Amino acid sequence: MSGHAHESRIKELLDRMTVDEKFGQLQQLAWAWDTGPGGGDTESAETAAREGLLGSVLNVVGAGASNALQRIAVEESRLGIPLVFGLDVIHGFQTTFPIPLAQAAAFDPAVTEKDAEVSAREARSNGIHWTFSPMMDVTREPRWGRIAESTGEDPYLTTCYAVAKIRGYQGADLTAPDRIAACAKHFVAYGGAEGGRDYNTVDVSEQRLRNLYLPPFRAAVEAGAATVMAGFNTVSGVPAHANPHTLTGILKEAWGFDGVVVSDWTGVQELVAHGGAANEAEAARRALTAGVDMEMVSTTFVDHGRELLAAGTLSAERLDDAVARVLRLKLRLGLFERPYVDESAALTGPTPDTRAAARDAAGRCMVLLKNDDRVLPLDVPALRSLAVVGPFADSGDLLGTWTLPGAPASAPVLRALREALPYTSITHAVGVAPEGFDTSGVPEAVVAAVAADAVVLVVGEPPALSGEAAVRSELGLPGAQERLIDAVTATGRPCVVVLVGGRPLTIGAWARSVSAILMAWHPGIEAGPAVADVLTGAVNPGGKLPVTFPRAVGQIPLYYNHERTGRPYDPAAPEVKYVSKYLDIADGPEFAFGHGLSYTTFTLGDPLLSREWIGARELREGATVEATVAVRNTGDREGDSVIQLYVQDPAAAITQPVRRLRGFQRVRLAAGEEREVRFTLGADDFGYWTNDPAGTFTVEPGEIHIHTGDSSRTGARRTLQIT
Ligand code: GLC
For the Cβ of 468 lying below 6 angstroms from any atom of ligand 1, the answer is: yes
List the residue whose alpha carbon is closest to atom 2 of ligand 1: 264
Of 115, 137, 198, 264, which residue is the catalytic one? 264
Q: Is the pLDDT of residue 4 over 50?
A: yes
Residue 56 C-alpha to ligand 1 middle, in angstroms? Answer: 15
Domain end among 525, 554, 583 = 554
Q: Which helix (H) or strand (E) holds 345?
A: none
239 has a pLDDT exceeding 80: yes
pLDDT digits (tens, 9 = 90+) for 298-320: 999 999 999 999 999 999 999 99
Ligand 1 atom closest to the CA of 86, numbered from 1: 6
Cβ of 364 closer than 6 Å to ligand 1, yes or no, is no
308, 288 Cβ separation under 8 angstroms: yes
Average pLDDT over residues 54-82: 96
Kindly state whether residue 27 falls inside one of the protein's structural domains: yes
The CATH number covering residue 641 comes to 2.60.40.10
Contact between 131 and 180 under an 8 Å Cβ cutoff? The reply is yes
pLDDT for 33: 59
Q: Whose CA is nearest to atom 7 of ligand 1?
A: 265
> Helix, strand, or coil here: 525?
coil
284 CA distance to ligand 1 middle (Å): 19
> Does 568 score more than 80 pLDDT?
yes
pLDDT of 32 strictly over 80: no
pLDDT value of position 401: 98
Say whether 493 sits in a helix, a strand or coil.
Answer: coil
Other Cβ atoms less than 10 A from the Cβ of 360: the count is 18
Measured by CA distance, the residue closest to atom 12 of ligand 1 is: 88
Cβ–ligand 1 contact at 132 (below 6 Å): yes
**Mean pLDDT across 399-417:** 96
pLDDT band for 61, please (50, 70, 90 cuts). Answer: confident
Report d(CA 516, CA 495) in Å as an integer.
Answer: 7
In a shared domain, residues 279 and 394: no
Write the CATH number for 282.
3.20.20.300
Residues 519 and 658 in one domain: no
Q: Report CA(146)–ligand 1 centroid distance (Å).
A: 11
* Domain span including residue 401: 359-554
- Confidence at 31, pLDDT banded by 50, 70, 90: confident
Contact (Cβ atoms closer than 8 angstroms) between residue 456 and residue 498: yes
Same domain, 318 and 372: no
Distance (angstroms) between ligand 1 centre and the Cα of 157 equals: 23
453 with 495, same domain: the answer is: yes
Q: What whole-number distance in Å separates Cα of residue 675 and Cα of residue 180?
A: 38
Q: Please indicate, yes or no, whether residues 651 and 549 belong to a single structural domain of this protein.
A: no
Angstrom distance (rounded) from CA 424 to CA 412: 18
Taking CA atoms, 570 is separated from 542, 581, 585, in Å, by 30, 10, 15
* Predicted pLDDT at 35: 47
Report the DSSP beta bridge partners of residue 460.
500
Q: Is 115 an annotated catalytic residue?
A: no
Q: Which of 146, 180, 265 to mutate to test the pocket of ligand 1 (most atoms within 8 A of CB)?
A: 265
Residue 36 above 70 pLDDT? no
**Do the domain assignments include residue 561?**
no
Mark whether 177 and 96 lie in a shared domain. Answer: yes
Domain termination site, one of 500, 523, 554? 554
pLDDT value for 509: 87
Q: What is the pLDDT of residue 508?
A: 79
Tell me, using a 6 A CB cutoff, whether residue 153 lines ligand 1: no
Q: How far is CA 144 from the centre of its chain?
A: 13
Range with the poorest average pLDDT among 14-18, 533-537, 558-562, 575-579? 575-579
Question: What's the gap in Å between 264 CA and the centre of ligand 1?
Answer: 6
CA of 155 relative to ligand 1 center, distance in Å: 22
- The answer, yes or no, to whether residue 654 has pLDDT greater than 90, is yes
Asked whether residue 399 falls in the same domain as residue 470, the answer is yes
Q: Amino acid identity, residue 592?
A: A
Residue 10, in any domain of the structure:
no
On whether the CB atoms of residues 113 and 121 are closer than 8 A, the answer is no
Cβ atoms of 711 and 598 closer than 8 Å: no
Q: What integer best gives the mean pLDDT of the chain?
A: 96
CATH classification at residue 443: 3.40.50.1700
User: Across the chain, which distance is largest between two alpha carbons, in Å?
Assistant: 81
Pair (325, 425) in one structural domain: no
Of the residues 497, 519, 554, which one is the last residue of a structural domain? 554
137 lines ligand 1 (CB under 6 A): no
- Ligand 1 proximity of 264 Cβ (cutoff 6 Å): yes
- In this predicted structure, the answer to whether residue 38 has a pLDDT above a threshold of 50 is no
Whether 149 and 204 share a structural domain: yes
Do the domain assignments include residue 272?
Answer: yes
In a domain, residue 559? The reply is no
For ligand 1, what atom is nearest to the CA of residue 265? Answer: 11
- Is residue 459 a contact partner of residue 418, using CB atoms and an 8 Å limit? no
Q: Is residue 589 part of a domain?
A: no
Assess whether 368 and 320 both reside in one domain: no
Q: Give the distance (Å) from ligand 1 centre to CA of residue 265.
A: 6
Please write the tens of the pLDDT for every residue from 112-135.
999 999 999 999 999 999 999 999
Q: Please check the confidence at residue 44 and state whether its pLDDT lies above 90.
A: no
Instruction: Please indicate, yes or no, whether residues 234 and 297 belong to a single structural domain of this protein.
Output: yes
| Atom number in ligand 1 closest to CA 59 | 12
Residues 250-309: tens digit of each pLDDT? 999 999 999 999 999 999 999 999 999 999 999 999 999 999 999 999 999 999 999 999
Q: What is the 3-state secondary structure (H, E, C) of 620-678?
A: HCCCCEEEEEEEEECCCCCEEEEEEEEEECCCCCCCCECCEEEEEEEEEECCCCEEEEE
In single-letter form, the type of residue at position 6 comes to H
Residue 108 falls within a domain, yes or no?
yes
* Residue 420 near residue 395, CB atoms below 8 Å: no
pTM beyond 0.85: yes
- Print burial letters for 516-526: b (CB count within 10 Å at least 16), e (below 16): bbbbbbbbbbb
Same domain? 141 vs 188: yes
Are the C-beta atoms of 160 and 112 separated by less than 8 Å?
no
Amino acid at 545: L
Alpha helices in 481-547 (DSSP H): 481-489, 510-513, 527-536
**Measured from the CB, is residue 265 less than 6 Å from ligand 1?**
yes
CA 482 to chain centre: 28
Give how many domains the chain has, as a whole number: 3
Residue 40 pLDDT greater than 70, yes or no: no
Of the candidates 231, 150, 198, which has an alpha carbon nearest to the alpha carbon of residue 502? 150
pLDDT tens-place string over residues 415-463: 999 999 999 999 999 999 999 999 999 999 999 999 999 999 999 999 9
What's the CA gap between 538 and 550, in Å, rounded? 30
Confidence class of residue 143 from pLDDT cuts 50, 70 and 90?
very high
Residue nearest to atom 10 of ligand 1 (CA): 132
Is the CB–ligand 1 distance for residue 270 below 6 Å? no
In a domain, 465, yes or no: yes
Task: Find the 471 Cα to ligand 1 centroid distance in Å.
Answer: 16
Residue 37 banded pLDDT, cuts 50, 70, 90: very low
What are 581-607's pLDDT values in tens digits? 999 999 999 999 999 999 999 999 999
Hey, what amino acid is at 451? A
Q: Answer yes or no: are the C-beta atoms of 628 and 659 closer than 8 Å.
A: no
Q: What is the best residue among 88, 99, 269 to mutate for testing ligand 1's pocket, by most ligand atoms within 8 Å of CB?
A: 88
